[in-house]
Structure 1
Amino acid sequence: MRGEIAPHRVGEPSPLIFHLTVALSAYGQALAMAPRADSPDFPWLPALAPDRETVAGLDQTEITAEVAARLQAMMTGIETWQRHPYRRSLDEAPAIWSDGCTRLRDFGAVPGATRPDGPPVLVVPSLINRPYILDLLKGRSLLRWLAAQGFRPLLVDWGEPGPEEVGFSLDTYGERRLVPALAAARALAGRPVPVIGYCMGGTLAVGLAARVPEDVAALVTIGAPWNFARGIGIAGALRTLIRSRGAERFEQLLKSMGAAFGLVPVTFLQSLFALVNPMQAAMKFQKLARLDPASPAAELFVALEDWLADGVPMPAAAASDLLVGWQIRNLTGSEDWRFLGQRVVPSEIRAPTLVVCGESDSIAPPSLARPLASVLPHAAIRVARTGHVGMIIGSEARTAVWRPLGDFLRTYGS
């Protein structure tokens, strides 16, 4: 597949130099270490360790050829993505409320919705990425599936921060955007409404259910991080990054970026995610190189990679709340997080709750997400055999997450 690189994919995946350097370094180290592969102290991963006879006398020429082939496959995959003809074509759902850059989008009004006036459900996505991961492709849209089931999903589309939002903290987002959006949903329903939160949107939804309980009929969190005490995933990468400098200096770094650029840049946030699994880009683009570019699997890959590359900068105060307050200081898990003016105490939440986490989630691993279910008095937990994004758009999402979610909403939100 040839053709021009799509303008929105030039220089991607970001940070491109990081992904290329990591792959070169990792494969170079593997090549250098190969002659010692049969040593008793060779650092094999337990799942990969062969017997010493199998790896004795490894041919360096063959290993070099394999390293070159993998690097070439990575580059081929990146080029395949950059030149792929896919472009997002789903129309945005209409906005029924807005303030600043934030819109409340009505998926009861999209084609395929069976009850435009059905029971409203407020959906809260992450602030870090665009919300259309919940509406990625035809047949891979949780929001359109819910609309086809007779619900009226109302998506909080945070938008890209502008001059009005530059100074926003997470608390400001809650007060100025989330609470009014919930009020708009309740006004349509004439009663309390269910709230679904994905990723950090799930954590914010917990804060909303704790602080505005009279408007929340039921609560669902999907891949929502809560207790960062174990320090794995993003929290682990952050702690490794700032261990020698301390949280205060990292906070100052975020403030400095905000002062210099207005917002914390997308590239900085993407770099933090890349630290969680530095070789992920190499492996996934090698996978794309093996796919037929015209196949549905390749189209899904490209659509997802486009979304990942389409990041959103954050106000410095909100970024500090997320990266330092939650991830480093664990204010959520220690119940010291203040949202909408008061501490968030999950044990006081009376709404029936469904906590969904992914068994192979690297962003909000079960050790971060499962503790939430243990502190909510009316929570059921569901562990899906998938990853963070797979819970929303993966091949198992409909069975493992969407249908149980629909059943829960029919019980508590109709």
Structure 2
Amino acid sequence: MLRRETAASPERAAAALAGLRRYQEAPRRARRARPVRYRSGAARLRDGVRGSDAPPVVLVPSLINPPFVLDLAPGHSLVAHLAAAGFHPWLLDWGTPRAQDAGLDLAGHVTRRLLPLLARLDRPPLLVGYCLGGTLALAAAAALPAGRVAGVATIATPWHFAGYGEATRAALADFWARVAPGCRALGVVPMEVLQTAFWQLDPARTIAKYAAFATMPADAAARFVQLEDWANGGAPLTYAAGADLFETLFAADRTGRGDWQAGAATVAPLSLRCPTIEFVSLTDRIVPAATAIGLPDRHDVDAGHVGMMVGSRAETLLWDPLIAWLRTIHA
């Protein structure tokens, strides 16, 4: 990708390689994860405020990349912000799939991982799903009886995968056809494979950000490393979940067409029997606004996929409007 994108500019190639070397050699600090309270298979529910009896809010991250983007650092943590606002945040950690999990598809992550964890809570939670986590949070709400979920908020969540456009979907289908046999043999879709797919969405930007990092000031560079470690890290997907992502969602758009099921329930967000809202980024390259669900209650955010969650304006653009909506349910 580097050779293709910088073929006409050796200087740009050199800058990107210098940025990559700086990233590889940057110092890191060990992260301290929130304590685990409940487990279901490989998945874990981490407690954001030990011993709190405040209204529970379960944060459902994407299966892709680690969950700590929702609890990144002091001042950049939705978990901490929710706790300060009087809620009891729980952070779902999907964990690392085991050999016996190879057949666990996206719906299986809902019915066999998320729902058993929600059942451990002593009152109906509010679900807040980020990226693909929002897709799965909607499926969980659809699979549960009325009254078992207090509400669902989705953030930068794809639903109408046709909104990615035919060219992108065709490129991803071709990519999946090439990597699927190896992934099937492994039983998982490694993060390196998924990252390669994401780079294809905007390869020029990938090169540009590493070229810029080569000369970035130290304070901004530390933040860059923190976010890139998140973007480049994480457990693999089970093979079945990866196949679902590329075949059921990107290729067939079964969510957008209204025929995707979680267990026995067809997931139809507009017919959920609980309050819902979607937060849609207007500048998102990973989840374009054209893929949004179309809920009646929609809040547009003028920040990108990651910036809306942990950027310098995240509190104003996303966190506070989210908390204001949560308070309409638990005043």
Which TM bucket (shorter chain)?
over 0.9
Across the two proteins, how many residue pairs are aligned to each other?
A: 330
> For 1:203-243, what per-residue CA distance to the aligned partner results, in whole angstroms no more than 9, with x for missing partners?
111111222143111110000001122333xx753423436
User: Pick from 148, 155, 162: which aligns with 1:215?
Assistant: 148
Write the distance in 2 (CA, Å) between the matches of 1:182 and 1:82.
Answer: 39
Q: Which residue of 2 aligns with 1:201?
A: 133
User: Pick from 309, 317, 329: which aligns with 1:392?
Assistant: 309
Task: Give yes or no for contact 1:237–1:272 (8 Å, CA) kept in 2.
Answer: no
Does 1:87 pair with 2:29? yes
Write the distance in 2 (CA, Å) between the matches of 1:117 and 1:130.
Answer: 27
Task: Give yes or no for contact 1:100–1:164 (8 Å, CA) kept in 2.
Answer: no
Write the distance in 1 (CA, Å) between the matches of 2:93 and 2:173.
Answer: 32
Q: Which residue of 1 aligns with 2:248?
A: 325
1:183-198 alignment runs, 5 A limit = 183-185=119-121, 187=122, 189=123, 192-198=124-130
> For 1:279-304, what per-residue CA distance to the aligned partner results, in whole angstroms no more than 9, with x for missing partners?
122211122223222x1x22111100
Q: Could you say what the CA RMSD is over the residues aligned between the two structures, in angstroms?
A: 2.0
Letter in 1 for 2:245: L
Q: Which residue of 1 aligns with 2:48?
A: 107
Write the distance in 2 (CA, Å) between the matches of 1:394 and 1:129.
Answer: 18
Task: Give yes or no for contact 1:182–1:215 (8 Å, CA) kept in 2.
Answer: no
User: Pick from 237, 256, 259: which aligns with 2:168?
Assistant: 237
**Counterpart of 1:153 in 2: which secondary structure?**
strand
Write the distance in 1 (CA, Å) between the matches of 2:261 and 2:41.
Answer: 24
User: Pick from 191, 197, 221: which aligns with 1:272?
Assistant: 197
Write the distance in 1 (CA, Å) between the matches of 2:283 and 2:210.
Answer: 19
Task: Give yes or no for contact 1:193–1:413 (8 Å, CA) kept in 2.
Answer: no
Letter in 1 for 2:276: T
User: Pick from 364, 372, 397: which aligns with 2:294?
Assistant: 372
Does 1:355 pair with 2:281? no
Q: Which residue of 1 aligns with 2:239?
A: 316
Letter in 2 for 1:24: T
Q: Which residue of 1 aligns with 2:4?
A: 22
Does 1:121 pair with 2:53? no
C-alpha displacement of 1:412: 0.9
TM-score, normalization: structure 1? 0.75
User: Gaps spanning 5+ residues in structure 1: where?
Assistant: 1-17, 29-66, 110-114, 374-378
CA distance 1:253–1:77, shift in 2 (3 Å): closer
Write the distance in 2 (CA, Å) between the matches of 1:92 and 1:306.
Answer: 15
Letter in 2 for 1:269: L
**Counterpart of 1:333 in 2: which secondary structure?**
helix
C-alpha displacement of 1:337: 0.4
Q: Is the strand fraction higher in 1 or 2?
A: 2
Q: Which residue of 2 aligns with 1:159?
A: 95
Higher-Rg structure is 1
Does 1:404 pair with 2:321? yes
**Counterpart of 1:220 in 2: which secondary structure?**
strand
C-alpha displacement of 1:102: 0.9
Write the distance in 1 (CA, Å) between the matches of 2:107 and 2:13.
Answer: 44
Does 1:307 pair with 2:240? no
> For 1:218-269, what per-residue CA distance to the aligned partner results, in whole angstroms no more than 9, with x for missing partners?
110000001122333xx753423436x9xxx84x963x33442121222221
Q: Which residue of 2 aligns with 1:287?
A: 212
**Counterpart of 1:184 in 2: which secondary structure?**
coil
CA distance 1:236–1:372, shift in 2 (3 Å): farther
Question: Aligned residues: percent identity?
Answer: 37
Q: Which residue of 2 aligns with 1:75?
A: 17
**Counterpart of 1:117 in 2: which secondary structure?**
coil
Task: Give yes or no for contact 1:122–1:196 (8 Å, CA) kept in 2.
Answer: yes
Task: Give yes or no for contact 2:164–2:290 (8 Å, CA) kept in 1.
Answer: no
Write the distance in 2 (CA, Å) between the matches of 1:241 and 1:219.
Answer: 29
Select the structure with the greater relative contact order (CA < 8 A; seq sep ≥ 6): 2
Write the distance in 2 (CA, Å) between the matches of 1:93 and 1:117.
Answer: 17
CA distance 1:323–1:386, shift in 2 (3 Å): same
Write the distance in 2 (CA, Å) between the matches of 1:135 and 1:406.
Answer: 16
Does 1:130 pair with 2:62? no
User: Pick from 188, 212, 236: which aligns with 1:263?
Assistant: 188
Task: Give yes or no for contact 1:238–1:272 (8 Å, CA) kept in 2.
Answer: no
**Counterpart of 2:297 in 1: which secondary structure?**
strand
> For 1:178-227, what per-residue CA distance to the aligned partner results, in whole angstroms no more than 9, with x for missing partners?
11111123x2x3xx221100000001111112221431111100000011
Does 1:179 pair with 2:115? yes
Task: Give yes or no for contact 2:58–2:89 (8 Å, CA) kept in 1.
Answer: yes
